[in-house]
Structure 1
Amino acid sequence: MTEQQLLLQETVDNVFEELAANDRCLQSSCDFNSQWHTLQNLGIDNLFIPENKGGFSGSWEDARIIFYLSGRHGIALPICETIVAKKLLLDHNIPIPQGAITIGMSNPGCSISKDRRSGELLFSGGLSAVPWGSQSSTVLTFCDDKAGNKLILLKCKDGQLTGGRPNEAGEPRNNIEFEKARVLDSAALPEPFQHLMKMGALMRASQISGALDSALHLSIMHTKNRSQFGRPLAKFQAIQQQLAIFAEESAAVNCATRSAARSEDLGDSLFEIAATKLRANRSVGAATSIAHQVHGAIGFTREYDLHHFTQRLWSWRSEFGNDRFWSESLGKQVLAAKESGFWQFITARSDASTEQQE
């Protein structure tokens, strides 16, 4: 990492560590607003905003650091969604609103119409399982109807909460129904569904990487401190072997997310992000099983920290693309590269990434 990235990591790590205990106790919108105000004062959500406009002019590698730390500390705020949304709005010259911004995937059948009097665009349709939809100010989504493919920004309060339930970690996942809601702004975007899924997958995979590292750390410390049959659990070879497998899974996801972020900075990342999210999803099952096995009963108690990470891991692996979705995406790309040569396809991507580092 560069000196600037090390400084970013240290700063955000300290802030998230301070917020973590309070975030796990969030119960009201007042608490949410207070914690969100703390992050906004630090300016973390303006990572991609140019320096001359009060931001950091950051990169996706910088963003990966924040996503990772958010997962490692179990931050219960939509800071990652807001960073990604602001980047997409910035790239498409859409004015950035105040407050938390979430990302929602629209259901089939949505439509955009035009108000005859004002000429404003109106959106009708539903969004499912929107992260923090009940507490975010705006939501960035898409619509691909007969009017064309568009990235659109909506006010959450202009829609009606029609259900949804918290994820396994208790974080809001809301269904929002809009009926001729005013579109704050929009931009034409080819394949908006794939674009939002790709950015969301990079975000979630990086958070998974952080949560895996925390669960691994807790597991290692528990086996060092807990004794059975006269010696620490960490001295048993079977436990050591399981923790080694856990460490391999965690390291693999960490490396994959770094590569995916670097590729996104180069502007061609679909292959790397598909491989990364798939690898992260598959790591969750093995890693969480080992974590709870070595902890035993205490790992399932609400008072112990492990569930803050494992419950998020179980939720995140299905968000922004499950195993099947990214397996199909990866398979199609491999088949498409068959004629020109898959080995040349892989090495060319690797060479481009190496040149960027140099």
Structure 2
Amino acid sequence: MFTEAIEKILTDLCTPALVRAVENGEGAPALWSALEDSGFLELLTPEAADGAGLGLDALLPIFVAFGRHALPVPAAQSIAARALMRACPIAPPAGMITLSGTAYSEIDGTLCVPRMAFGLLADFALVNLEGQLLLLDCSLALRQPVGVHASQCATLYWPPETLGSAIGHNGEEVRLFHATIHAAAIAGAMETVIGMTLEYCNDRVQFGKAIGKFQAVQHQLSVMAEQVAASRIAAELAFCAGRQVPDRMATAIAKARTSMAVSQVTATAHALFGAIGVTEELDLQLFTRRLHEWRISEGSETCWNAIVGQALLAQPNVTASEFVRHVTPSPSA
């Protein structure tokens, strides 16, 4: 029910033209209001607190849909923030809340949050600082764009006097949840990319027939489809029922596998589109740019594969195949 309702909002309001407008600095007040006023930011909030009371598993198709439409506002982050602040003494503020699993203090006490997703748009940020949970007002920070074309990421700097006290001790959960959000978004964006590529290959005629009929092209499309399917399955692993926050090992596998697929899927799509594939007018780049950005956000496959590898090496009497078969999310704390 919620997925269909959100899909309708995204289809009606989250158009490529709107995505481009946000990238040009125009904002998306109508889209954000539609998501906020409909109560969709409270999907993880318990029913007793006037929320939908959904489980983590019910969020997967919603977060995948956000990626499939290249949603240019931090709706997934704002939904997750409400779950991450479940035991905090203050309520989540109104407005756009983004997440960052990594922050550090500079010598003068300034807090730096590098490459924060939606750093140019967000009103607030829920940040992990060495395990401490901080809620920061983005209007008090210096926002420095990352320099990538049309990116909404930014590095933010907060002066020491603006930081306040920690509101919780579950800061590491921010990184896990945000990595899982990106895994789902990657899976969704890949679905759009392969859909666009298949349509183009069926329409583009060369030597008297659609290029999708050529065996070499079909081979590339089949490999691409394998990567897209594997990414969706990996993302599903992290959205385990009965949990409020994704499991660490499931998150590591999901983020690593989806990130690994980005290079091959985007390269194949652009190769099959040919020269038109690199043009700004084609919607393809709205998704492939984001896929590369999401790949490295909260750690690329190298980072998360290391976590999986360390877990395997910690069990010297277990073979790799046995380890893979028995990897399941640990019980909810």
Return the TM-score normalized by structure 2.
Answer: 0.89
Which amino acid in 2 is paired with 1:230?
Answer: G
Cross-structure match for 1:335:
313
Distance 1:288 1:98, change over 3 A: same
Q: Structure 2, unaligned stretches of length 5 or more? A: none
- The partner residue of 1:187 within 146, 151, 168 is 168
Shift of the alpha carbon at 1:336?
A: 1.8
The aligned length equals 330
Query: RMSD of aligned C-alpha atoms?
Result: 2.7
- Alpha-carbon offset, residue 345 of structure 1: 5.3
Cα 1:332–1:136 shift into 2, 3 Å: same
Change (3 A) 1:256 1:169: farther
Q: Deviations over 1:148-196 (max 9, x none)?
A: x4211111122222x232545532423223322142751123xx34x32
Aligned partner of 2:6 among 1, 12, 20: 12
- Does the 8 Å CA contact 1:263/1:269 hold for their aligned counterparts? no
Given that 1:168 and 1:312 are in contact with CA atoms closer than 8 Å, whether structure 2 keeps it comes out as no
Of the candidates 111, 116, 120, which is equivalent to residue 130 of structure 1? Answer: 116
Which structure's relative contact order is higher, taking Cα pairs within 8 Å and 6+ residues apart?
2
Taking the aligned partners of 1:305 and 1:256, their CA distance within structure 2 comes to: 26
Distance of aligned partners of 1:61 and 1:263 in 2 relative to their CA distance in 1, 3 Å threshold: closer
Structure 1 residue aligned with 2:234, among 251, 256, 277?
256
AA in 2 matched with 1:204:
H
Structure 1 residues 8, 263: CA separation in 2 closer, same or farther (over 3 Å shift)?
closer
Higher strand share: 1
The alpha-carbon distance between structure 1 residues 53 and 314, as it changes in their structure 2 partners (threshold 3 A), is: same
Residue 160 of structure 1 is matched in structure 2 by 142
2:243 is matched with 265
Structure 1 position 261, deviation (Å): 0.8
Query: Corresponding residue for 2:105?
Result: 109
Secondary structure at 2:45 match in 1: coil
2:36: which partner in 1?
40
1:19 counterpart letter in structure 2:
L
Percent sequence identity over matched residues? 24
> Which residue of 186, 192, 197 maps to 1:219?
197
Counting only pairs closer than 5 Å after superposition, residues 171-210 of structure 1 correspond to structure 2 as 171-183=152-164, 186-189=167-170, 192-193=171-172, 195-210=173-188
2:252 corresponds in structure 1 to 274
Structure-2 change in CA distance of 1:282 and 1:168 (3 Å) = farther
Secondary structure of the residue aligned to 2:240 is helix
Letter paired with 1:176: Y
TM-score by length of 1: 0.83
Whether contact under 8 Å (1:260, 1:269) holds in the other structure is yes
Report the CA distance shift for 1:219/1:41 in structure 2 as closer, same or farther (over 3 A). same
Q: Is the 8 A contact 2:57 2:241 kept in 1?
A: no
Q: Is the 8 A contact 2:99 2:116 kept in 1?
A: yes
Q: CA deviation at 1:69?
A: 0.4
3-state secondary structure, aligned to 2:14: helix
Q: Which residue of 2 aligns with 1:325?
A: 303
Greater C-alpha Rg = 1
Matched, 1:139 2:125: yes
Counterpart AA for 2:6: V
Gaps of 5+ in 1: 1-6, 112-122, 354-358
How far residue 306 of structure 1 moved from its aligned partner, in angstroms, is 0.7
Q: Which residue of 1 aligns with 2:63?
A: 67
From 96, 119, 132, the equivalent of 1:150 is 132
> How far has the Cα of 1:76 moved from its partner?
0.6
Partner of 1:115: none
Name the SS of the counterpart of 1:103 in structure 2.
strand
Partners of 2:246 and 2:61 lie apart in 1 by: 20
* Deviations, residues 265-300 of structure 1 (Å, cap 9, x unaligned): 387722221111111111001111110111111111
